[in-house]
Structure 1
Amino acid sequence: MSEQTTKQTFSGYEKFIIAVLAFLQFTVVLDFMVLSPLGYLLLEKLSITTRQFGIVVSAYAFSAGAAGLLTAGFADKFDRKKMLLFFYTGFIVGTLFCGLAPTYHLLLFARIFTGLFGGVIGSISFAIITDLFPIQVRGRVMGFVQMAFASSQVLGIPIGLYLAKQLDWHAPFLMIVGLSVVVWFLVVGKMKPITGHLQIRSKHNAFTHLGKTLSRPEYLQGFAATTLLATGGFMLMPFGTAYGVANLGILEDQLPTLYMVTGICMLVFSPMIGKLSDKVGKYKVFVLGSVIAAIMTIIYCNLGITPLWIIIVLNVFLFVGITARMISASALMTAVPEPQDRGAFMGINASVQQIAGGIASLIAGLIVSVGSTGHIENYPMLGNVVVLAIAVTLILMYRIHRYATLKTEQTAAVVPAADGTV
């Protein structure tokens, strides 16, 4: 079946699944993303260096990566709804700890705890999407679910920054806890058990299952692509706000406007990008997004004092590129694992992403520094590293694209034969 052949409508329950997963991703993404805009506050309030802040950001990533690896072997052995609720509960508790942490070291501990649970949630969500939706419509589904990133910018980050400024930097985390509790009850009350994968699960024990998943060549190239895919965002994001304020001349009061306008644009573009990836091809959209992201990264990282409207325009184009890469790559990656390996593959893939992101954050903290004038130094060098990673990822994702295309064509050829129509 070609990518052009897609279902036109989703059932009421399918729409609920898409909505609740998007809302759930919104809380998880916001928990991670809100830390970056709070960077300039934390550097001052906690009297920490850029290196220490990089450690706080990467601590979540490393603990999330470790948790994903430890749980990957078990991911296909339980009802996905129960797995989702277990880890989401831990995420809520960890975020509450962040909202109560009075010192740098306690915040660091809270981020590690949150990562142990929050880092696994994305892989479970993607496994659910892969179980419930065919490859031909996953671009659309991913487009809606990935709106969580845009929504966090439109609503979450501006409100979080406002609360942080009016109350305290802890307030955004407490806000996330309140939202997450609502989502938790929706999942408990409305989501049906997801157990279809249990009928074809691997008969190996958890550790053997993990080892076999880690050793398959076609899976390894997926993990390699994910490693570099994570580099860009994790390198630019942690110091993006500090760079904007110190180097580009953005006022603190203008930050919510920047995030809100960018987010609103992404709310419009994300579903369009998802539909486009299903219509013209996921890899073509990935290439287009990569070109846009690379060009915008080079421009953005070499700016001086710049009017706000120009920064907003560049930021929108940058996020269009980043979002196009995320949506198309996520949809492509779901075609890689066999049904009985989906949970394990998604778990390992999420771990690889988090660990790679943690390393990228640490490297970013080593590359950039705060100069004597308060400027963020070496940001252009950081941009060059990101562009290089984008270029190499294009090659790796092409291999994923070829594998996914061949696999889909083979599946389409086998299904008619099983029905006796060929």
Structure 2
Amino acid sequence: MSEQKTATFSGYEKFIIAVLATLQFTVVLDFMVISPLGYILLDKLSISTTQFGLVVSAYAFSAGAAGLLTAGFADKFDRKKLLIFFYSGFVVGTLFCGIAPTYEFLLAARIFTGLFGGVISSISFAIITDLFPIQVRGRVMGFVQMAFASSQVLGIPIGLYLAKAFSWHAPFLMIVGLSIVVGFLVVTYMKPINAHLKLQTGGNAFKHLGNILARPEYLQGFAATTLLATGGFMLMPFGTAYGVNNLGIKEAQLPTLYMITGICMLVFSPLIGKLSDKIGKYKVFLGGSFVACVMTLIYCNLPVTPLWIIIALNVLLFVGITGRMISASALMTAVPEPQDRGAFMGINSSIQQIAGGIASLIAGFIVTEGVGGRIENYPTLGNVVVVAIIVTALLMYRIHTYVSAKLTASAASPAQKTSV
């Protein structure tokens, strides 16, 4: 595809953006809806908090493992066929969750779902990279990343309503129904995405994977992803407990906090994506990192605070986090060569999943539960997150420099213009 790009997308490109965003919404919602269902599952399945934690983490670790196992094969197939295969497995796994009669069945279903669902994001990002030039990827990523905000605004409240009105199985069955519609659209209207197959040089999948892991520029991308995930996932697991027990938020006010934050992110995500294309992805990343650092230090050191102030601070914190994620995702797509995109994205997604799981464990060692459920050492956790953000900014500068040089070389050589 030519690097010269008009300000508007074609009808087919809009369809691709919309279907990938909706597809991401179903995958993200499947992952996120399990946590709010926690108090219901503890009662209905008669399980402990440790067992519930295993249900949550089992998905993340199986998703990470799947990405690594399939990375070597990711560039050997038409990306549409690959997407259909893994999305079908995700739908089947979610259906198993929706009919799970016991804890053991649910745990196995979550592992199965993670094995397929964990690969979908990397395939989607590879498709975006194949179909859209770097100059507009920020906008595309901004729309696709709206899936996270949408899951907060629409998915989680609807899921909780269905769980209370019917049973805890209902949210998973809702996701299955929506996913079948999305899958039909992909099968029927998405065109084959196989231009990268012409660039394959042969060799087995494991050799291909080894070549990916041997390239220094790819390794520094993986390192940046590790720290990028670490910074975000450290605050998430204890955010609700900290808000209720330290900041004075009432449990009944939590949906309001999440919904307002989600609505704001629905507005800001595409704007951040558009800004990253206009002024530069690394500049937006630095801006997001600065906002995230400042807001993390403020938020993690708050006393009991009125809800409206907490909402304002939380929105600003998520603006910083979202600014980092969108710009970093768009910049990272330009790192791999066309023949390596699927494998690179697969490994990158796996690292993100595994790093997130490890970050949650590390956070658990830093914070402790004090008298009355108060979360202790949260300021220390905030300091660790800030250090991770700063180090990530330094690593992303190296990636920015590499990508800039690559784009300059591509512009000078018309034959290589499709390389990024």
TM range (shorter): over 0.9
Does residue 207 (structure 1) correspond to residue 209 (structure 2)? The answer is: no
Q: C-alpha offsets along residues 60-106 of structure 1, whole Å, 9 cap, x if unaligned?
A: 22111111111111101111111001111111122223333355444
For residue 33 of structure 1, what is the aligned residue in structure 2?
A: 32
Q: C-alpha offsets along residues 375-408 of structure 1, whole Å, 9 cap, x if unaligned?
A: 3343333322222211110111110000000000
**8 Å CA contact 1:298, 1:383 repeated in 2:** yes
For residue 61 of structure 1, what is the aligned residue in structure 2?
A: 60
For residue 270 of structure 1, what is the aligned residue in structure 2?
A: 269
Does residue 290 (structure 1) correspond to residue 289 (structure 2)? The answer is: yes
For residues 409 and 81 of structure 2, what CA distance do their matches in structure 1 show?
A: 33
For residues 45 and 305 of structure 1, what CA distance do their matches in structure 2 show?
A: 34
For residues 336 and 158 of structure 1, what CA distance do their matches in structure 2 show?
A: 38
Does residue 94 (structure 1) correspond to residue 93 (structure 2)? The answer is: yes
Bigger shift: residues 282-291 or 6-15:
6-15
| Offset at residue 182 of structure 1 (A) | 1.4
For residues 86 and 71 of structure 1, what CA distance do their matches in structure 2 show?
A: 12
Aligned length: 415
Q: C-alpha offsets along residues 95-152 of structure 1, whole Å, 9 cap, x if unaligned?
A: 2233333554443322222111111000000000010011111111111111111111
Q: C-alpha offsets along residues 245-287 of structure 1, whole Å, 9 cap, x if unaligned?
A: 3333333332222222111111111111011101111001001
Partner letter of residue 327 of structure 1? I
For residue 405 of structure 2, what is the aligned residue in structure 1?
A: 406
For residue 326 of structure 1, what is the aligned residue in structure 2?
A: 325
For residue 217 of structure 1, what is the aligned residue in structure 2?
A: 216
**8 Å CA contact 1:50, 1:365 repeated in 2:** no
| Same amino acid, percent of matched pairs | 80
For residues 179 and 295 of structure 2, what CA distance do their matches in structure 1 show?
A: 34
For residues 232 and 105 of structure 1, what CA distance do their matches in structure 2 show?
A: 32
Bigger shift: residues 271-280 or 39-48:
39-48
| Offset at residue 366 of structure 1 (A) | 3.4
For residue 134 of structure 1, what is the aligned residue in structure 2?
A: 133
Query: Structure 1 residues 251, 95: closer, same or farther in 2, change over 3 A?
Result: farther
- CA RMSD between the two structures: 2.2
List runs of 5+ in structure 1 lacking aligned partners. Answer: none
For residue 156 of structure 2, what is the aligned residue in structure 1?
A: 157
For residues 133 and 58 of structure 1, what CA distance do their matches in structure 2 show?
A: 33
Does residue 21 (structure 1) correspond to residue 17 (structure 2)? The answer is: no
| Offset at residue 22 of structure 1 (A) | 0.4
**8 Å CA contact 2:91, 2:179 repeated in 1:** yes
Query: Structure 1 residues 377, 95: closer, same or farther in 2, change over 3 A?
Result: farther
For residue 252 of structure 2, what is the aligned residue in structure 1?
A: 253
Query: Structure 1 residues 101, 244: closer, same or farther in 2, change over 3 A?
Result: farther
| Offset at residue 336 of structure 1 (A) | 0.3
List runs of 5+ in structure 2 lacking aligned partners. Answer: none
**8 Å CA contact 2:89, 2:116 repeated in 1:** yes
For residues 45 and 173 of structure 1, what CA distance do their matches in structure 2 show?
A: 16
Does residue 113 (structure 1) correspond to residue 112 (structure 2)? The answer is: yes
Partner letter of residue 57 of structure 1? V
TM-score normalised per structure 1: 0.92
For residues 53 and 293 of structure 1, what CA distance do their matches in structure 2 show?
A: 30
Bigger shift: residues 372-381 or 333-342:
372-381
**8 Å CA contact 1:290, 1:390 repeated in 2:** yes
| Offset at residue 192 of structure 1 (A) | 0.9
Structure 1 counterpart SS, 2:409: helix
**8 Å CA contact 1:54, 1:362 repeated in 2:** no
**8 Å CA contact 1:54, 1:364 repeated in 2:** no
For residues 141 and 413 of structure 2, what CA distance do their matches in structure 1 show?
A: 26
Partner letter of residue 296 of structure 1? M
Partner letter of residue 410 of structure 1? A
Partner letter of residue 9 of structure 1? T
For residues 282 and 316 of structure 1, what CA distance do their matches in structure 2 show?
A: 21
TM-score normalised per structure 2: 0.92
Partner letter of residue 203 of structure 2? H
1:168-207 aligned within 5 A:
168-207=167-206
| Offset at residue 357 of structure 1 (A) | 1.1
Structure 1 counterpart SS, 2:373: coil
**8 Å CA contact 2:410, 2:416 repeated in 1:** no
For residues 366 and 163 of structure 2, what CA distance do their matches in structure 1 show?
A: 28
Query: Structure 1 residues 57, 218: closer, same or farther in 2, change over 3 A?
Result: same
| Offset at residue 300 of structure 1 (A) | 2.1
**8 Å CA contact 1:80, 1:128 repeated in 2:** yes
Structure 2 counterpart SS, 1:128: helix
For residues 416 and 169 of structure 2, what CA distance do their matches in structure 1 show?
A: 59
**8 Å CA contact 1:58, 1:359 repeated in 2:** no
**8 Å CA contact 1:55, 1:362 repeated in 2:** no
Query: Structure 1 residues 186, 222: closer, same or farther in 2, change over 3 A?
Result: same
**8 Å CA contact 1:51, 1:366 repeated in 2:** no
For residue 122 of structure 1, what is the aligned residue in structure 2?
A: 121
For residues 224 and 416 of structure 2, what CA distance do their matches in structure 1 show?
A: 34
| Offset at residue 304 of structure 1 (A) | 3.8
| Offset at residue 39 of structure 1 (A) | 4.3
